[in-house]
Amino acid sequence: MSESPALLAVFGNPIAHSLSPLIHQFFAQQEGRSIIYEKRLVEGAFADCVREFFAQGGVGCNVTVPCKVEAFNFATAKTERARVAQAVNTLSVRHDADGSLSYKGDNTDGFGLLTDLIRLKCPLASARVLIIGAGGATRGIVPSLQFLGSIHNLTIVNRTLAKAEEIVAYIQDFYAANHFSRMLMPMRACDYATLEAQKVTPDTYFDVIINATSLSMREELPPVKDEYYKRARFAYDLFYTPQGKTVFTEHAKSLGIANSYDGLGMLVGQAALAYEQWFGVRPEMEPTIEYMRQVLAQR
């Protein structure tokens, strides 16, 4: 390809740690595309920073913490995924007929998770799913699990019950308002104490356990009793390491869940959807994940 390099960027604060440039450069190499991918630190108003980027010819950008809500407010058009999550991690520019620019906002986090779960052959059909944690990550991934349509039910457990209840209520209200309430899988919220007190029976076990907390960063486990792990068939941690092991995945394996994985594939998957939106090409995930493991191991 002989055209000028496409200008891309990731916005956030802090931003030096971001792996996005390496991932997207590897994507581009797969098809021989030339790109420039920059890390842009947001110290002032996000809208001003991103407008300047697009005025410089930017094709699209990724957005990380703490700017995802600001990116949602900045976008002039939003996907349903973004509207449910109330956050945007991917922006694309469109040149309108009148010469103005418009900006499409998407949230690819949930798609990234779903893509990786499918890649790993997660048994999602008729599954009882437990998501641990009720932060922004959970809000981003639940809609994609919802759209899968085959999950039996979903439980969100959190230390603070109100936060889990807020996510469940918001998603239920959103789909009801948009006439999708019939498609909703059963969801419930609970706190750790309730889950601990609940007896594990054929009606209360989980097939899939997803850790959406940041506890693995501190080498800590969520307070979920071992009986739940022993009945589960699949465990997934959104946190990732060079070795593909976290304290959560190792604990799950020790209790019999052989299929326990970290979240590097989710990171690559959400980036792959962003890249596809910008260039119309879906990158290969497997070689990218392998490459990123090597990169992380050298750090």
Percent of residues, the chain, with pLDDT higher than 70: 97
Query: What's the mean pLDDT when you consider all of the chain?
Result: 93
pLDDT at 92 over 80: yes
* pLDDT tier for residue 91 given thresholds of 50, 70 and 90: very high
Mean per-residue pLDDT, 215-228: 96
pLDDT computed for residue 180 by the predictor: 62
**298 C-beta neighbours (distance < 10 Å), count:** 7
The pLDDT tens digits for 18-43 are 999 999 999 999 999 999 999 999 99
The pLDDT of residue 179: 57
Instruction: For the chain, give every domain's residue range.
Output: 6-107+265-297, 110-262
Residue 102 contacts residue 110 (beta carbons within 8 Å): no
Q: Assess contact for 88 and 107: CB atoms under 8 A.
A: yes
Residues within the annotated binding site for shikimate? 18-20, 64, 89, 109, 240, 270
Q: Which segments are annotated as binding site? A: 18-20, 64, 80, 89, 109, 133-137, 158-163, 238, 240, 263, 270
In order of 4, 178, 207, 282, 297, the CA distances from 154 in angstroms are 47, 20, 10, 29, 35
CA distances from residue 233 to 118, 226, 261 in whole angstroms, order as listed:
14, 13, 12
- Residue 148: predicted pLDDT: 75
pTM of the model: 0.91
Is the pLDDT assigned to residue 64 strictly greater than 60? Answer: yes
- Average pLDDT, stretch 242-271? 97
The predicted model gives 211-215 an average pLDDT of 94
8 A C-beta contact, residue 170 and residue 138: no
What dihedral do alpha carbons 187, 191, 193, 199 form, nearest 10°?
10
Statement: residue 1 has pLDDT above 50? no
Does residue 271 or residue 179 have the better pLDDT? 271
Give the DSSP letter of residue 107: -
Question: Which overall architecture, per CATH, does domain 6-107+265-297 show?
Answer: 3-Layer(aba) Sandwich (3.40)
pLDDT in tens, 146-197: 777 789 999 999 999 999 999 999 988 888 887 565 567 899 999 999 999 9
Would you name the residues annotated as active-site residues? 68
Instruction: Confirm whether 6-107+265-297 and 110-262 share one CATH topology.
Output: yes
pLDDT value, residue 181: 54
Degrees (nearest 5) of the Cα angle 120, 267, 168? 85
CATH class, range 110-262: alpha beta
